[in-house]
Amino acid sequence: MSRATVPPMRQFRRTLLGAGAALIVSSCLSPTLPLPPPDRPDVEQIGQGEYRVTGAIPERGMATVMNSRTRLQWGQFTEARYSFIVHGEPGDAMLFWYVVSGQSSEYLFFDLGENTEGGPTGKGDAGTASDGAANAADAADAAD
């Protein structure tokens, strides 16, 4: 191979590496799509003031429920399926969301009902988790 062909090959490699680096940097700067709201969890009363919340999130992350009256939170880091116990009274509004790779999903409100066997009760309003936490805190302040 002659020396005349080496510099163009090096230039090609540099151009290829530069283009690859530009693609990586631009992909880091592009906005990500928001996570969808969680599916409505199954809620089963297991004792006086104790409810088991079960369901699944789309990928590995943290599923979290907050009682808007007491402001207590419960959660579980999971690969997909979660199952944990929350505390509350019938009619308490619960705020549910999940976090994946540092990004919060939209939230879902559900009410603890007297007949929770067979699924959750109440409405499932969706919004962002940060807005929902503020709304839940406002609701708790109004109840005080």
- Give domain limits for the chain: 1-30, 42-143
> Could you tell me if 82 and 57 are in contact, meaning their C-beta atoms sit under 8 angstroms apart?
yes
pTM of this prediction?
A: 0.61
- Which tens digit of pLDDT belongs to each residue from 39-54? 999 999 999 999 999 9
Q: What are the residues facing 107 on neighbouring strands?
A: 127
Residues of the chain above pLDDT 90, percent: 50
Tell whether the model's pLDDT for residue 9 goes beyond 70.
no
Summarize pLDDT for 60-108 with one digit per residue, the tens. Answer: 999 999 999 999 999 999 999 999 999 999 999 999 999 999 999 998 9
CB 81 within 8 A of CB 89: no
- Mean pLDDT check: name the lowest of 10-14, 20-24, 86-90: 20-24
Q: Domain 42-143 - what CATH class?
A: mainly beta
